[in-house]
Structure 1
Amino acid sequence: LLGELKNLTPRRLQMLQPSVAGLHLAWQFAVHLLAKGAVMPQVFSCESETLVRWLPATLDVTVDNLLEQVARQLPDGLISFNDWALTGKRQAITLCSLMLDRLVQSVPLKKGDTPYDKLFFLTGRVTFDSRRESASAASIAQWLSRLTLVHREQPPVIMLDEAGEDFALHLAVKITDQPAPVMLADILWQKCYENTRMAVLQTLAMLAEFYPPLCEYLRAGGRQALRLTAQTLPDFLFTALPVIRMLGIQALLPKALDKILRPRLSMQVKSSSGAGGSSGFQLGNLFDFDWRIALGDRQLTVTEFETLIDSAEGIVRFKEQFIYLDPDEIARLRNKLLNPPDIKGMALTQTALSGEYAGTPIMLDSAAREQLRQLTSVGMPSQPVSLNATLRPYQQTGFAWLTHNLALGIGGILADDMGLGKTLQLIAVIQHQKETGALAERKVLIIMPTTLLTNWQREIARFAPTLTTAIYHGGKRALSDEMPDILLTTYGVVRSDAATLKKQHWRLVAADEAQNLKNPASAQTKAAKSIPADAFIALSGTPVENRLAEYWSIMDFALRGYLGPLKTFISEIEKPIQMDRNQQVAERFRRITAPFLLRRLKSDKTIISDLPEKIETDRFCELATKQAAIYASVVREGMQVIRGESDAFQRQGLVLQMIMALKQVCNHPAHYLKNKQMDAALSGKAQLLLDLLDSIEETTEKVLIFTQFKEMGELLQSWLTARYGEQPLFLHGGLSRKKRDEQVERFQNDRSVRHFILSLKAGGTGLNLTAASQVIHYDLWWNPAVEAQATDRAYRIGQQRNVQVHRLLTRETFEERINDMIRNKKALAEMTVGSGEQWLGKMTDDELEELFRAGQD
């Protein structure tokens, strides 16, 4: 299990159940605890054996808080003993302990062969044979009692006060009936404490083991403070105190010591001498800098810092604060100043935007602040005169943002939720470019999926009729000598005709449905990035479909090189955010990308108030008799083959084949048996669909029916024709672009056309089908993002009625069980399950048997 957890990738993790994510979080927590040494052993006996288990050091407040977070991510009953299920924090401690035990035993230490090595580092258990060894075991437990000093009857308290240039340290203990800690001298010399005196001395003697200079204080009976100088104070504060505090022991220190500053390498960022020159606003050429040394929010020049360290060492006062001048750290800083890191170009721009360098705040001079203001402050230009539309407030914001970035010669990602009008916002921007003369010499290229060509052409003609367009697609495609304002083409054409398109230098290259560029190694992504332009804009409702690495690819199209090399991005940004849940890295990533990414969600009613609610309903049916028999036969035969396959790759293929077969059986036996003459009533799902359509038929509403199979679409088409007397439209991948456009046009405008069957892949993106207010998913892709894209063909701007979404599922089959799995991790699945059923192929035989079986236990 631990090996599987260790090897989980972000993509794989996001495809699994929430309980696995909880286990993975506990594993990461255990690894970090061991790396930080925030663990402690617990010795106990069980019959004749002495055992050790390793636990999170929950005496430390940070460790305890993190453990609480882990506990909240674990489902109750994940661990049970003798039918007694553990819950909450107790379960988290037990799980982390089990993981820590295995981790400790796997650490490559130089281990001896004594019983104690075996007890602590090898097996965690040992039987002591002799009386002497048994006594030693008791001594171990006594020694470990030092880790629980805070739980003694008179827990110790450390008190540190300023004493001139030095500090004075005293020891005290908490007495139950005393309001304040009692000093050691009072314990030793006041008669009222003689009954507790010996126990207190034992406690403080054990405390002194963590900081040996305390022995001197104890020998003096606490009558004279232990004096700590600037040179000796660091050993107490940075070596002993963290351990003491981790044990939960109270330490009372001057407030000024709460935050001791350490010198850090920083910089003062200034405007580059080359910024804003004849070459325009170049993102990688905006800033320059000088190295500085940061002490908190103050910055020193190198000369000022050298003067400071020449006259001081250790912990010293600086401007009403304390700073720690560690000779080793000073040496490393000097070495960095002699051999400074190479920070320039885009990396320097990111530093300016994030406001920090390596976690240390930076300073910006007035010119650099003005450069940032120009980069991030968006004005509100007037709507283009010739635009035949009134932009909604949020669309006006998007138009202004894109126009602002184009004026600076930079691009970005417009990532508004599907249906919020990304097309209109970009058309408004292009119209503005034409009206300001920006298209006089250089034109606009828009890349898109084939099915959207006509839609884009019609939307441009509708909203910006003064813009000229042409479609570069088809076997007879050719570039005209008189280039239109906008050339529309497809990803496939860009892949094959990149050499031709690269001959032009474009004012703007835009990519619609830019998730098509999420694979940086694909030919079409490389081709799209090779076309020269003043700026690049990506349009996508889902810029982070599965991994941040895919976001990197889309951003790299919009802003070449801004996020650095992919390998560096994965190690420094993707892994810390997705695997380590590092909030500081996530916040820095948000700051450095904020000027180049605009995303609004239509679920946010502050963005759009006139979009009606969509209502999703899962509708279940039963397997018909013949269906159930075929289903059981497919499961039985399929599992027999899968269990006999040892090759993991071949096995995964067999699993996916069986999933495909069972989908077809659940759709209709005719789909699986390839027999188009069978009655619809032989499928529970087909009958459910017809019943549902009967109820909708009584209204005037139009219906979209999605299936991922062309064969199933043909069956549905024949059954609906027979039932309602008119053949429904059917859009699939085998249709020409002209036929697709005709079907969309007819469905939108012909009131007699009530039903539109669509292949999920061919009709799931880009189309505007707001005439429909009923959406039926006949079979499911097991990817909520894909389903949502299909649903959004109807749930878009312009929709005047509530959209009712029906998801058809066969009860007590794998359809219901997978649906439950995805529903239970809905928020995660919406972002991550981008590969259909691929994740199911790695389930164990028993898991598959449970998943595929028909009926209940």
Structure 2
Amino acid sequence: RGHPGEFFLTDSEAGYFLKYIVPRLRHLGFDLNLPKWYKGPEDIQEVTLRGHVTEAPGKSTSAFSLERPLEFRWEVAVGGKPLSPVEIRRLIQVGPGLVRLPRGLVYLKHEDVEALQPIVDRGLKSKVKVRDAMRYALLRELSVDGIPVQDVSFKGRISELVGRLEEKREFQILPQPKGFVGELRPYQVRGFSWLVFMTESGLGACLADDMGLGKTIQTLALLQHRWEQGKRRPVLLVCPTSVVQNWKKEAQRFTPDLPVLIHHGSDRDRTEAFVETASKQALVVSSYSLLHRDQRLLKKVDWAGVVLDEAQNIKNPNTKQARAARKLEGDFRLALTGTPVENNVGELWSIMEFLNPGWLGSHRSFRMNFWKPIEKKGDKKAADRLRRLVRPFILRREKTDKSIISDLPEKLEMKVYCNLTKEQGALYETVLRDLERRLDESSGMKRRGVILAALTRLKQICNHPAQFLRDDSTLDGRSGKLTRLVEMLDEILTVGDSALVFTQFAEMGQMLQKYLSETFGKEVLYLHGGVPRKRRDKMIAAFQKKDGPPIFVLSLKAGGLGVNLTRASHVFHFDRWWNPA
């Protein structure tokens, strides 16, 4: 049985009791004798630490960067209304507990007093960085000088940036550049406009559209826009060796006014003259293989921006090319990839570290905070937190998205230009010299036959030296066309898509089937003229299944007629068919 007794409370304990304990006791049915001035917990207010962020003087026209300083002004509020410096000092003097101010009772905690003193000492002013403001916008987390902030307001251009990151404000949709040849589709106009917004804001951006949605032309539209705006400093674009020439041809097709320089091959300029030549270009295209090798030379150029095509090539942050990419300096950085994450979320860190250094923390802290919780434990909160952190910097559209697919033509065609390897080039030259000799020795129909035979041999060399030589030699690393096919198929398989690969040569089809099967560790079907009808039907049925083999190699004659393969979302013509007539 209870006995009456008493105990004393400190000012701080009394404030906590009246604010939080009294409501619980009343809920349990206790009768309480309380001071007459006490009307209820709702009349006891608490201190709120708020902040106002503006740009530092003299920085209102330059692009943002994550490390850029911003002005931060503290506001100490009670009941939503700011306190005067005199009232703040009184709170500090009285200390933790209940404090009576003209506006009413305030419950001041120990941590409030500890936070208020340094705030007053600094004159209610401090500094934060753009990265801090952005993290608050995305995660609602901000700590200034070790003091947690409960609410933040933004003013000026930083307010616009934060509003767009929070998706409360739309970025401006721009008209297509006048010098761009062709017509961008609506989703491509939006992508190009987003790239302009991100680059002008000084933020790294990743365009991660599905293959075939036009990452190349959206990037070229960005470069054309900058050129027309009078921004004439060069942009460095790094890509796999197999697509170097493709970028040049696409630029010639869609942005013919832009000066483009290819920095690749054994005859590339490695002297100081390259720096001057590069400075006059809109676009300089180089390859990943040269990033580390030509690092000193490339760093001498004042780049407006650095673009990585097929950015999954730097997914391992410890490779020489990934390290070299992070050392390149420019006003902006872009990454183009259809697969920002191929195997695990750990790969995302390397791309984001290139785009916005330090945004996801150190590699070690990223592994502790995200990679291990997500990959090992399936932590949904960690996954959601990571998603919120990277979402503003990644634009991804998929062909399965109805808002995109309704916007697409019935068929998108891409010509992919591939470099010959040294072996292919040597064989090509040999056939040409032999052709010249034979043409001098022939005439009439025989001359035509010589030309057609030479064309066939040249096509075989372009496919693969092993097809031309018929020596059953290894395939890896000897054909620019095969290398590029594997790169594109890898991207397709990563997102769960399937593909058809056509060739006019039966022997090339056999080589492709074996090589692709060994490379990807998956079953690869091959349909050619020698396949019986029943087996052919079984192969088609197997491919059409949702979990069927993802790659189907077909000869043009056998696969070009009477075959319905609706599952495939990509079609490759490994070599082009031509009609001798």
Place the TM-score, normalised by the shorter chain, in its bin.
0.5 to 0.7
Question: What amino acid is the match of 1:513?
Answer: E
Aligned mates of 1:586, 1:749 — CA distance in 2: 36
1:515 and 2:515 correspond? no
1:348 and 2:132 correspond? yes
1:603 and 2:400 correspond? yes
**Deviation of residue 288 (structure 1)?**
1.2
TM-score with structure 1 length normalisation? 0.42
**Deviation of residue 454 (structure 1)?**
3.3
Q: Name the SS for the 1:431 alignment partner.
A: helix
Alpha-carbon displacement from aligned partner over 1:382-429 (angstroms, at most 9, x marks no partner): 102232332222211110011122233433111223332211211111
Q: Is the Cα contact below 8 Å between 1:443 and 1:506 reproduced in 2?
A: yes
**Deviation of residue 536 (structure 1)?**
0.9
Q: Is the Cα contact below 8 Å between 1:270 and 1:367 reproduced in 2?
A: yes
Question: What amino acid is the match of 2:89?
Answer: E
1:516/1:302 Cα in 2 relative to 1: closer, same or farther (>3 Å)? farther
Partner of 2:323: 526
1:804 and 2:543 correspond? no
Identity %: 31
Aligned mates of 1:332, 1:237 — CA distance in 2: 20
Equivalent residue in structure 1 for 2:478, among 732, 735, 738: 735
Partner of 2:152: 363
1:275 and 2:59 correspond? yes
1:449 and 2:449 correspond? no
Equivalent residue in structure 1 for 2:112, among 330, 343, 346: 330
Structure 2 counterparts to residues 210-289 of structure 1, below 5 A: 216=4, 231-232=13-14, 234-235=16-17, 263=47, 265-276=49-60, 280-285=63-68, 287-289=70-72
1:316/1:497 Cα in 2 relative to 1: closer, same or farther (>3 Å)? same
Alpha-carbon displacement from aligned partner over 1:332-385 (angstroms, at most 9, x marks no partner): 324654899996334433355345425743332533654536976521221022
**Deviation of residue 435 (structure 1)?**
2.3
Q: Name the SS for the 2:74 alignment partner.
A: strand
Q: Which shifted more, 747-756 or 428-437? A: 747-756
Aligned residues: 441
Aligned mates of 1:587, 1:515 — CA distance in 2: 22
Alpha-carbon displacement from aligned partner over 1:307-334 (angstroms, at most 9, x marks no partner): 34656864689999986423x3234324
1:497 and 2:306 correspond? no
Question: What amino acid is the match of 1:275?
Answer: K
Question: What amino acid is the match of 1:453?
Answer: V
Question: What amino acid is the match of 1:387?
Answer: F
Aligned mates of 1:740, 1:308 — CA distance in 2: 71
Unpaired segments of 5 or more residues in structure 1?
A: 1-204, 206-213, 220-226, 615-712, 722-726, 765-773, 792-800, 807-857
Aligned mates of 2:287, 2:68 — CA distance in 1: 33
1:386/1:297 Cα in 2 relative to 1: closer, same or farther (>3 Å)? same
Q: Name the SS for the 1:379 alignment partner.
A: coil
1:482 and 2:277 correspond? yes
- Computing the radius of gyration over CA atoms, which structure comes out larger, 1 or 2? 1
Alpha-carbon displacement from aligned partner over 1:573-615 (angstroms, at most 9, x marks no partner): 66677758474x766655554443222233221222266999x
Q: Is the Cα contact below 8 Å between 2:316 and 2:350 reproduced in 1?
A: yes
Q: Is the Cα contact below 8 Å between 1:388 and 1:462 reproduced in 2?
A: yes
Question: What amino acid is the match of 1:395?
Answer: Q
Aligned mates of 1:743, 1:802 — CA distance in 2: 21
Aligned mates of 1:495, 1:295 — CA distance in 2: 58
Q: Name the SS for the 1:290 alignment partner.
A: strand
Structure 2 counterparts to residues 64-213 of structure 1, below 5 A: none
Equivalent residue in structure 2 for 1:471, among 233, 245, 262: 262
Partner of 1:397: 190
Structure 2 counterparts to residues 522-601 of structure 1, below 5 A: 522-571=319-368, 581=379, 583=381, 593-601=390-398
Q: Is the Cα contact below 8 Å between 2:72 and 2:128 reproduced in 1?
A: no
Q: Which shifted more, 753-762 or 507-516? A: 753-762
Structure ranking higher on relative contact order (CA contacts 8 Å, 6+ apart):
2
Q: Name the SS for the 1:496 alignment partner.
A: coil
Question: What amino acid is the match of 2:59?
Answer: A
Q: Is the Cα contact below 8 Å between 2:51 and 2:149 reproduced in 1?
A: no
Partner of 2:201: 408
Aligned mates of 1:490, 1:255 — CA distance in 2: 74
Partner of 2:249: 458
Partner of 1:852: none
Equivalent residue in structure 2 for 1:307, among 85, 90, 100: 90
Aligned mates of 2:31, 2:176 — CA distance in 1: 63
Aligned mates of 1:352, 1:563 — CA distance in 2: 14
Q: Is the Cα contact below 8 Å between 1:272 and 1:288 reproduced in 2?
A: yes
Q: Name the SS for the 2:351 alignment partner.
A: helix
**Deviation of residue 561 (structure 1)?**
3.6
1:373/1:267 Cα in 2 relative to 1: closer, same or farther (>3 Å)? closer
Aligned mates of 2:57, 2:316 — CA distance in 1: 37
Aligned mates of 2:202, 2:333 — CA distance in 1: 9
Q: Name the SS for the 2:249 alignment partner.
A: helix
Structure 2 counterparts to residues 775-854 of structure 1, below 5 A: 803-805=566-568
Q: Is the Cα contact below 8 Å between 1:731 and 1:762 reproduced in 2?
A: no
1:435/1:567 Cα in 2 relative to 1: closer, same or farther (>3 Å)? same
Question: What amino acid is the match of 2:57?
Answer: S
**Deviation of residue 524 (structure 1)?**
0.8
**Deviation of residue 466 (structure 1)?**
2.8
**Deviation of residue 529 (structure 1)?**
1.6
Question: What amino acid is the match of 1:804?
Answer: R
Alpha-carbon displacement from aligned partner over 1:772-829 (angstroms, at most 9, x marks no partner): xx9x99x99xxx9xx98x89xxxxxxxxx974259xxxxxxxxxxxxxxxxxxxxxxx
Aligned mates of 1:263, 1:760 — CA distance in 2: 66
Aligned mates of 1:734, 1:542 — CA distance in 2: 23
Aligned mates of 2:29, 2:209 — CA distance in 1: 52
Q: Is the Cα contact below 8 Å between 2:99 and 2:107 reproduced in 1?
A: yes
1:422 and 2:215 correspond? yes
Partner of 1:16: none
1:521/1:330 Cα in 2 relative to 1: closer, same or farther (>3 Å)? same
1:301/1:237 Cα in 2 relative to 1: closer, same or farther (>3 Å)? closer
Question: What amino acid is the match of 2:132?
Answer: L
**Deviation of residue 455 (structure 1)?**
3.0
Question: What amino acid is the match of 2:257?
Answer: T
Q: Which shifted more, 229-238 or 410-419? A: 229-238
Q: Is the Cα contact below 8 Å between 1:281 and 1:408 reproduced in 2?
A: yes
Q: Name the SS for the 1:542 alignment partner.
A: coil
Question: What amino acid is the match of 2:203?
Answer: I
Question: What amino acid is the match of 2:72?
Answer: F
Q: Name the SS for the 2:206 alignment partner.
A: strand
Q: Is the Cα contact below 8 Å between 1:275 and 1:285 reproduced in 2?
A: no
**Deviation of residue 738 (structure 1)?**
6.5
Q: Name the SS for the 1:284 alignment partner.
A: coil
Aligned mates of 2:255, 2:330 — CA distance in 1: 22
Q: Is the Cα contact below 8 Å between 1:346 and 1:562 reproduced in 2?
A: no
